[in-house]
Structure 1
Amino acid sequence: FIGLSGITTGLSWLCYYKALQDGEASVVVPIDKLSILVTVAFSYVFLKEKLNKKSFIGLIMIVIGTLILLV
């Protein structure tokens, strides 16, 4: 799993740098920051982790702040 994690992380960075080359950084970076939603969804579905109220509010604030950056 560590090797697979390294490969996927490397591919993720390559895609990120390609997106930065092709698109505007002001659009690419905030979209990249929304990857936290994928992480939280993965932990909820596969690891059966629950979000408490404080964590959920924090997640919502991060998402709203990131979306504001897109404007």
Structure 2
Amino acid sequence: MQEKKRKGYATQAQQNEANKRYYHASEENRQKRLYTSAKSTAKNFVRTKATKEDLEELEDLILEEKKKF
């Protein structure tokens, strides 16, 4: 027997309201969203806009942070 998939919301406004409820439900959800957004921004910068100097600076920062582990 095939399971029914959840159809989602009829309008984008309804989806936006559901997202708002989810992300404001707890601080953990909010922090998770902020982390994911920052990670995506950093990856996009490295892939599309970073110069060689930027990449070298980031490499140094990454090596410094890795030493903390």
| TM-score category (smaller protein) | 0.3 to 0.5
Pair member with larger Rg: 2
Q: TM-score, normalised by structure 1?
A: 0.42
Structure with the larger RCO, 1 or 2 (CA within 8 Å, 6+ apart) = 1
Q: TM-score, normalised by structure 2?
A: 0.43
